[in-house]
Amino acid sequence: MPILRRVRTGLLYLRAILFEFRWTLSALVLVLAVGTFLYLKTPGEFDEKHPLTFLNALFATWMAMLAQPINAPPTTWYLNLLCGFYPVVGFVLIGEGVVRLALLMASKRRGEKEWMRVMASTYRDHVVVCGIGRLGIRVIEELVSARVPVVGVEKAEDGRFLPQARQLGAPILVGDMKDDAVLVSAGISHARAVVIATNDDMGNLEVALDSRRLNPDIRVVMGLFDQSIASKIANAFLVDVAFSASTLAAPMVAAMSLGSKALSSSLIAGIPHVSAELQVEAGSELAGKRVEEVERGYCCKILARTPASGPIQLPAESKTVVLAGDVLVVHTPSSQMGTLAAAGRGTALNVG
């Protein structure tokens, strides 16, 4: 695993733990703050060897929580009350926190659902992939390789591709995608897009509508068995893209979840290629690069560029600088489309 990915994963774990223990930590900080304030009001508890300072007052409060007050008995009634009450508070907060942390770490090592739920709760502006089958796992691979945060949902606990998905580092929730609670746990309300890639057409449609209800701004990319039905569904319902799983490669599905629009596909020298339209967002990797730099760096050909204001450039000139707000028509191998679409995304593409 590359060093940067290790660091990112470590920070993600730390954030997940802090988020899970946010109420316990908040209560602990409040209790320490109150105790420190009371000790600071009582100089008689300290002497020349241990003068009255903020750190000494904080230490005295901590020791009171561990049932080891620095002076016994304390010199004031409120410190007497504090030293009698704080050991109970310390036992509850510290003891409960240690036990929960131990269970959570055990869950992390085994990849259990508790840890997956904690990880998913920290994600923002991510893609939720429902159904980890042949197509779903490839979509997750494409998104992860493009550094796009992704959360997976799979109904079968013994799913064939679950181990592979977990090895990619993405949180995988085991549960029925038609259950609102599962979608909420996957962070659907904070997600940028949802990709629904199961073989159950009616289930896919139900989840598409549920996702839109839970997050009106989410981009819905839904797979259906029949391409003609997929086209009708996209026109009739609040679905951004309805595709036939038999007609699109996983990289293109991943790209569509990031806002790209497929225009055509072709087979060149046995390699699938796609022409697609994508918008360049502010702060993205593409903004500020010349057309020739984008083509060379992302193995693509920019067929046309439509600036935010101005006429279309057809073809795009090689020295032209790509700007935020530009709409590009690109031609590239299908395997490269997910990475290219992610590069067009702005700095909002992150976790948390």
Give CA–CA dist 283/323, Å, rounded.
10
Give CA–CA dist 323/320, Å, rounded.
9
Q: What fold does the segment set 123-259 form as a domain? A: Rossmann fold (3.40.50)
What is the residue extent of each domain of the chain? 3-110, 123-259, 261-352
pLDDT in tens, 136-187: 898 888 888 777 889 999 988 888 888 888 888 788 888 899 999 999 989 8
pLDDT in tens, 71-130: 877 888 899 889 889 999 988 888 888 877 776 666 555 555 666 777 777 788 899 999
* CA-atom Rg of the chain in angstroms: 27
Class of domain 3-110: mainly alpha
Neighbours of 128 (CB within 10 A): 28
Backbone angles phi, psi at 332, to 5 degrees: -155, 160
Q: Which one of 3.40.50.720, 3.40.462.20, 1.10.8.420, 3.30.70.1450 gives the CATH number of domain 261-352?
A: 3.30.70.1450
Q: Which residue has the tokens 């996983």?
A: 250
Cis check for the bond before 149: say yes or no (omega within 30 of 0).
Answer: no
Are residues 220 and 196 in contact, defined by beta-carbon separation less than 8 angstroms?
yes
Look up residue 322 and give its DSSP letter. P
Are residues 264 and 275 in contact, defined by beta-carbon separation less than 8 angstroms?
yes
Query: Which neighbouring-strand residues pair with 241?
Result: 221
Give CA–CA dist 286/281, Å, rounded.
8
Give CA–CA dist 189/107, Å, rounded.
25
Beta strands in the chain (DSSP E): 127-130, 150-154, 172-174, 193-196, 219-224, 241-244, 261-268, 271-279, 301-306, 327-333
Whole-model pTM: value is 0.59
What is the average per-residue pLDDT within 28-35?
93
Q: Which residue has the tokens 């083509």?
A: 295
